[in-house]
Amino acid sequence: MYARTVFRLANCRQRLCNAASFSRLLQTTCISAATKPESDNPTVVSGLGLERKIRTGSEDLETTRRRLLYQMRKRGILETDLLLSTFAAQHLSSLSRAELGDLDSLLSNIDWDIFYWATDKTQPPESIWSMSVFQKLRDHASKRGHSIVRMPDLS
């Protein structure tokens, strides 16, 4: 529940005009969750600014691919949706389990951050830069050119 709240707050960041309001809102949420007893907090990872629940290995490979395909198509920002959905159409079926895990971690970031990192507008954190799947995404973004891109059909 807490991880969903933080994820929703992060998505709302793009809609907020005042960064200070978002910062206060996020700090309030994190402080209230930090005061909960340890047993109420899910296991979370927080290396990139967002906290998310750690997925156990209980998902089979096909379920993971389907979940990631949905998450890559329904981000909320058209530019990122197009970049990630075309990447998924070309590469998702050939990614290893480790690369799928890295992709899952990458997708926990904010849409504009992912887009700017993949298109070399800003420098990503070292933890993102070192992912092989991120390097594939950068290569994919650099080869897109200036043609009209549309969302791939679901198969």
Binning pLDDT at 50, 70 and 90, where does residue 33 land? very low
With a cut of 60, say whether residue 56 has pLDDT above it: no
Mean pLDDT of 59-85: 89
**Distance from CA of residue 48 to its chain's centroid?**
10
Lowest mean pLDDT among 52-61, 72-81, 133-142: 52-61
Alpha helices by DSSP H, the chain: 2-13, 19-34, 61-73, 78-91, 97-106, 111-118, 126-129, 132-142
**In the chain, pLDDT over 90 holds for what percent of residues?**
41
In the predicted structure, residue 43 carries a pLDDT above the cut 80: no
Query: Which pLDDT score, from 0 to 100, does residue 10 have?
Result: 56
Strands (E), 38-153: 44-45, 52-53
Would you give the distance in Å from CA 124 to the centre of its chain?
Answer: 13
CA–CA gap between residue 107 and residue 43 (Å, rounded): 18
Q: What is the mean pLDDT of the chain?
A: 74
Amino acid in the structure at residue 139: D
